Structure 1
Amino acid sequence: MLVYAILIVDMQAGMLAGAPKHDLAGVVARINALTAMVRGSGGRAVWIRHCGQPGDGFEPGSPGWEFLPELLRAPEDAEIGKTLNDAYAGTGLAALLRELTPSRVLVCGWATDFCVDSTVRSTVSHGFAAVVPSDAHTLSDRPHLPAPAVIRHHNWLWSELIADPPVRVLPTNELLAEASPPHQVRG
């Protein structure tokens, strides 16, 4: 049986400032479905919280520091505070995952091209089997590229990384179907 951990990166109220985030409601719904699947399989959800500098939108204790209220969190979930893009840098994330020994580590959240990207790459560097739900990460349009193009680019890039095992990138519905045991018909 596969044991999952899911890293939900920076899905905090502070992300609502500025330009709209691509398909945010859909991303939140898919993250909720994935966290339920992970918990249901005996895995663990790990909420990554950006801890900003005094006065910025992610300052600890500020309204922007709180997780989006639409996200379904559970008491058994873990939380890791970070100050850099990479959720592993200067945190206890790698030690927590080594303790949990997941078969696969799902990475989702905000922002595709910064904190999610850094965390996917670091998951691989720390020797974990990384899986990216291709439709469960988001960002705003960038000055040179619209958000959907950035998302497509990073999904392709992660699937092409040289890693052992390779990074798997697939839509949430395929991940959910893969994790559901086949129903047996009684006769």
Structure 2
Amino acid sequence: MFAPRETALIVIDVQEGILPAGDGPRQQAAATALDGVVARLADLQVRARAAGATLIHVQHDAPDDHRLAKGTPGWEIRRELTPQPGERVIHKTTCDSFLDTDLKPALLERGIRHVIIGGCMTPFCIDTSVRSAIAHGFDVTLVADGHTTCDMGGLTFEQIIDHHNTVLGWFGTATNKVVLKMAADAL
């Protein structure tokens, strides 16, 4: 087990406009699921701060015509997860939180060896960032009930989340691995 001082909680893309707009039953179900994820991540943030873990917020900076366009209301980090003074916000423009960002140096300068990851959009930014964290030499705890997405193609968001929990729970290298934990047990 890693000491809190070697651990960072990374919350990825939990932004006001993260889910596509819509008022159908499936969009409402996804919005309700997102609210649950936000509540669990907010509780995890409180516990991480109390334990002395590093908190890092990742915010997607999308082009002007996107719902997450930088500077728009949809781009803002959800108020329940507002960064506190001294907490780093990493801005990214791709699914990979490490690609063309200063995330890795920020982690290394703090002596971080283990990252806890939660947030949004499971098949894109969560999947890619978990795999990238392993490739960059970090152990990962994926918060199994702390990431979400929307329905895509013929798959429901629940199926997508279950699939990624299964696949990523088996992912790793000879030296680094992914473990899945529920938010209540992630720290």
TM-score between the two structures when normalised by the length of structure 2: 0.88
- 1:95-118 Cα offsets, whole Å, 9 max, x none, are 001111224201110001100110
Higher mean alpha-carbon deviation, 143-152 vs 115-124, is at 143-152
Structure 1: how far apart are the matches of 2:47 and 2:137?
Answer: 23
> For residue 159 of structure 1, what is the aligned residue in structure 2?
169
One-letter amino acid of the counterpart of residue 135, structure 2: S
> For residue 24 of structure 2, what is the aligned residue in structure 1?
none
Structure 1: how far apart are the matches of 2:127 and 2:67?
Answer: 21
> For residue 15 of structure 2, what is the aligned residue in structure 1?
12
> For residue 82 of structure 1, what is the aligned residue in structure 2?
92
TM-score between the two structures when normalised by the length of structure 1: 0.88
One-letter amino acid of the counterpart of residue 35, structure 1: Q
- In angstroms, what is the RMSD of aligned CA positions? 1.5
Query: Offset of 1:17 from its aligned partner?
Result: 3.1
Query: Offset of 1:173 from its aligned partner?
Result: 1.7
Q: Secondary structure at the match of 2:165?
A: helix
Q: Secondary structure at the match of 2:55?
A: strand
Q: Structure 1 residue 145 and structure 2 residue 148: aligned?
A: no
Unaligned runs of 5+ in 2: 22-26
Structure 2: how far apart are the matches of 1:95 and 1:160?
Answer: 27
Structure 2: how far apart are the matches of 1:149 and 1:34?
Answer: 24
Q: How many residues were matched structurally?
A: 176
Kindly indicate whether the alpha-carbon contact (under 8 Å) linking 2:69 and 2:75 is maintained by their aligned counterparts in 1.
yes
Aligned partner of 2:180 among 163, 169, 181: 169
Kindly indicate whether the alpha-carbon contact (under 8 Å) linking 1:32 and 1:72 is maintained by their aligned counterparts in 2.
no
Unaligned runs of 5+ in 1: 180-187
Structure 2: how far apart are the matches of 1:173 and 1:9?
Answer: 18
Structure 1: how far apart are the matches of 2:172 and 2:10?
Answer: 21
Structure 2: how far apart are the matches of 1:166 and 1:67?
Answer: 29
One-letter amino acid of the counterpart of residue 137, structure 2: G
Structure 1: how far apart are the matches of 2:18 and 2:4?
Answer: 32
Q: Secondary structure at the match of 2:4?
A: coil
Kindly indicate whether the alpha-carbon contact (under 8 Å) linking 1:2 and 1:104 is maintained by their aligned counterparts in 2.
no
Q: Which has the larger radius of gyration?
A: 1
One-letter amino acid of the counterpart of residue 66, structure 2: D
% identical aligned pairs? 30
Structure 2: how far apart are the matches of 1:114 and 1:130?
Answer: 17
Q: Would the alpha carbon gap of residues 64 and 140 (structure 1) be closer, same or farther in structure 2, given more than 3 Å must change?
A: same
